[in-house]
Structure 1
Amino acid sequence: MKDRLGSIIYVGKARDLRKRLSSYFLASRKTRADLKTRALIDTIVDFEFHLVRNEAEALLLEGKLIKDYRPRYNVAFRDDKRFLLVKIQPSEPWPRFVLTRMKKDDGARYFGPFAHSGALRATISWLNRKFGLRACRPLNPGENDYRHCNADIIRNCSAPCIFRITREDYLRRIDEACAVLEGKGRREIFSDLEADMAKAAERLDFEKAALLRDVLDNLKKTLNPTRQFTRGRGVPTTVKPTEDLADLGEALGLEGPPRVMECFDISNVSSNHIVASMVRFTDGKPDNQNYRRYRIRTVEGQDDFASMAEVIRRRYSRILGENSQANPDDEYSQEDPLERQRRLAKEGRAKIVLPDLVIVDGGKGQLSMAVRELRNLGLFDLPVIGLAKQREEVFFPGESDPLLIPHDRGALKLLQRIRDEAHRFANGYNALLYRRRMKESLLDDCPAVSPKKKQALLAKFGSVDRIRKASAKEIAALPGISEKSAEAILEWLG
């Protein structure tokens, strides 16, 4: 669901899309709805829909879109928790299946993501038993690990740790289990399990029949064919990076498409943690490896303008400094700083390439501060714009009237994407710092308590409240704490 600006405000799924959507606009439904639902209904202007093959695909796609766009009216899936993947590292002495939520470029084989975590865990357990695969944690288990393990005794493991099976045979079993996860021979496995279940029922062994039924259900949920929804694959999309870049360059009057863009955003939920983010897009796509986040150091209180000035100054002074260190022969060049950086980038000698366009999240105030800092660094002609949220106005340096780009143009959609990504990244950092702060103890601010003393106190008493109730003698009984220090601690805690 989209609002008048074309921003995605809600993502949902339904088997009967017509029935689901029509329910929002019934008069009786709107009357009974809570404030949040009524606000959503009043904001809806347009819809976009995608057809998928089954419920698992719908769940995966819904979660991905919510994480990508973070719609205002969605609650579920907004955290950074992803669907489970199955990982196996072939280079390990005795590989094993591991569940993970993050795919890395580490040479391992990955399967998934899987929509049903419970069914997946049960399926992995069944695969380990069926193929005699180890489920223990040690990287290279040996005889000492075998002494504390019962998996071999109950016939759940082939005991590679004591070499009851050769590595070649074990890896062959791994390949067979991986083939099952890939969906190969799925029908035959289902047929065999159904036949075994029927035989167990005929023998009146209903306990085994029920167990086989559960195994079959879990396998069907796990191995149900689903597409992996990644950018540009499997999901129809209106995002066209190349066309959007060309349109943006034309709309802003640039010499060409801005291949490299950097966008800055300030997040100051409270004056304790004022942070900024910088996200970088290359060829119209997020360049996550070059994202940066900053804690504002020189600004007291909530001042977006001064905070923007600090982060712009730190970012581009660092780029100029690192490129100068990498090219000391050009240190005394008489070239314009921007022209010099462009030349170094063209020659492949720039450690960090300057962007073709700088975007600041905000209006004239934030933009003027960014321009001032860039000029102080000698970057007079580096293209920079401000993007205001209220009407999506684009501000240019020295111009009072903003540019209003139509909402159906790819140029504005690209600007919105990079701005929203900067906003998400800044808020995520602020939330991380807040969680860290919540974990800190009152003892951190006590001048009589060092980190080691804090650890000893909490290990002994368990909480600050229990320390308050303790006597000075009890506290002084801990190593490294004198009775005078104990009294100072109690006085501090009140």
Structure 2
Amino acid sequence: MQDELKEKIKDLPELPGVYLFKDKKGNVIYVGKAKNIKERVREHFSISLRHPRFEKLISNTFDFDYIVTDSEADSFLLEANLIKKYLPKYNVRLKDDKKYPYLKITLNEKYPRIFKTRDIREDGSLIFGPFHSAKSLMKTLKIILKIFPIRTCKYKLPSRQKINPCLEYHIKRCPAPCVPGNISEEEYRENVRKLIEFFSGESENVEKWLENEIKIASENLNFEKAAILRDRLFALRDIHKGYVAHMDEDVFIDVIGFSRVSKYAMCLIIPIRKGRIWDKEDYLLEFPEETPDEEIIEEFLIQFYSRGIIGARKILLPFEIPNKEMIEKVLKEKRELNLKISFKPKDEKEKRLIQMANENAKLALDEKLLEKGVLKERVPVSLIEIKDLFNIEKLPERIEAVDISQTFGDERVGAVVVFEKGKPKKSEYRKYKIKYTESFSDAQMIYEVVKRRIKRLKEENKEFPDILIIDGGKPQLSFAVKALKEEGIENLCVCSFAKTFDQLYFPDGRMIVCPRNKRNALKLLKLIRNEAHRFAITYHRKKRKEKIKKSILDEIEGIGREKKIMLLRYFGSPERIFSASIEEIKKVKGIGEKLATKIYEKLHKIEK
């Protein structure tokens, strides 16, 4: 079959267009675009150029077809339409694309109507969308129809038959153009025009127009009309209540956030109109796992911006894409959209907006995948941020931290704490009494604890941590790395975390101070470090108390186990026995003056 297809490639045109790969049942499994169809299809089948991502695709391809277009720009839009039509298995596509609603305004009718639809075929109507939530769309529509009432019914107007006004007229959401003389066509068209302005992001122009109309009605002593317009103005402002002003009034941007897990990704759009955040719209995409992030974003841009009214003048992306200029050209030539695509924030405000969009995309993706059962629990944002901060490929689900505690070389101990998925796993905490290191140096004790920890994990055939954190600075890190190398561990991510400025040190010489935009990562890292410190110092204090009990009280002649217990119960702690007088010690049951004096003298090292 592959040989037959290679022969068929020879007859392909060297022109721009779209090609369709089909399985043995004739189903379209992949749609691609090309400047040169013949060259692009040949690349797919060429062994020397074949990418692992396309191996499954080619093995399941039994036939292909193509459509020639006038230009490469046409092929971009045609590809997007065919992906929506066939939902091919190996393409990036909006998951459950049919669920996203659109708004349609039938401008080709004398009295246009507005309604929610999923039918986006071109018929002369104006289309807004897609909208991520049908519920929020209908809520906004109910309010805006009170401000600029137009009809939602299916009647063909004007009509020869008599039509009685419906409920929408009586609740003031429709001016009833079905009743002759109820509203002029000019006045009705003005409502339609203002409604279009609102959904195009020009709500402030609408507000100014309403304010001016109220002023004119008041000057003409038409107070009834002024009151109606005032109520419409207040309703419009209610829609924007809570919108956040971030930028200058002349800013119209779509900020796109991106998050990905396996074969799913979330593209989340934060639309900013007149410097205000309007809402957020999230779209789940599905694709082959090997698909690069850049290609996912490109396909989303073409699919999303190929239809509907777009109020943005600029698209702000979280990272660079290779076909930026081509997508801008396609949208300009075929959609008459003069959109600029950028991946470089021009200031701190835009930078924060991208961070906000990415964080919201992450949360939205988690919610969708939890609903689908793909994720059993939400992945903490802190782990995502740590992954980015440490520049590692795998999500750090298991993090271990090591700390040392001692008092001038006395009762030297170490501790290891374990966090899984951002939460402490206390059943796997481990304590270490320093046995082999004579030095009082924390760094050398770190070496012993790390070496013993790794040995035990190897012996018990347990998983290594994704990240190993050492409490301290460069010296502690260097001894930890030495221990790892001696145990043959080369690829473990290890760092030291210093308390001075919360700086992270890495074996390759990097030093990172956790940035403000990684606040969740910093919070978790500090929690882990502090927990390691708490666990180590608690063990150290316990060992000191045991030493005090054993070395002082047990050395006094005449004090056995029972009298030692009586002393500790009476005073509550060894420290209080130290500060007690002879008279106070005598009050303990079974302790006479002679023994009390002996205890006092021994504790305070007083010689007669």
Q: What is the TM-score with the length of structure 2 in the denominator?
A: 0.30
Q: What is the TM-score with the length of structure 1 in the denominator?
A: 0.37
Task: Kindly indicate which of the two structures has a greater share of residues assigned to strand.
Answer: 2
Instruction: Tell which has more relative contact order, 1 or 2 (C-alpha 8 A, sep 6+).
Output: 1
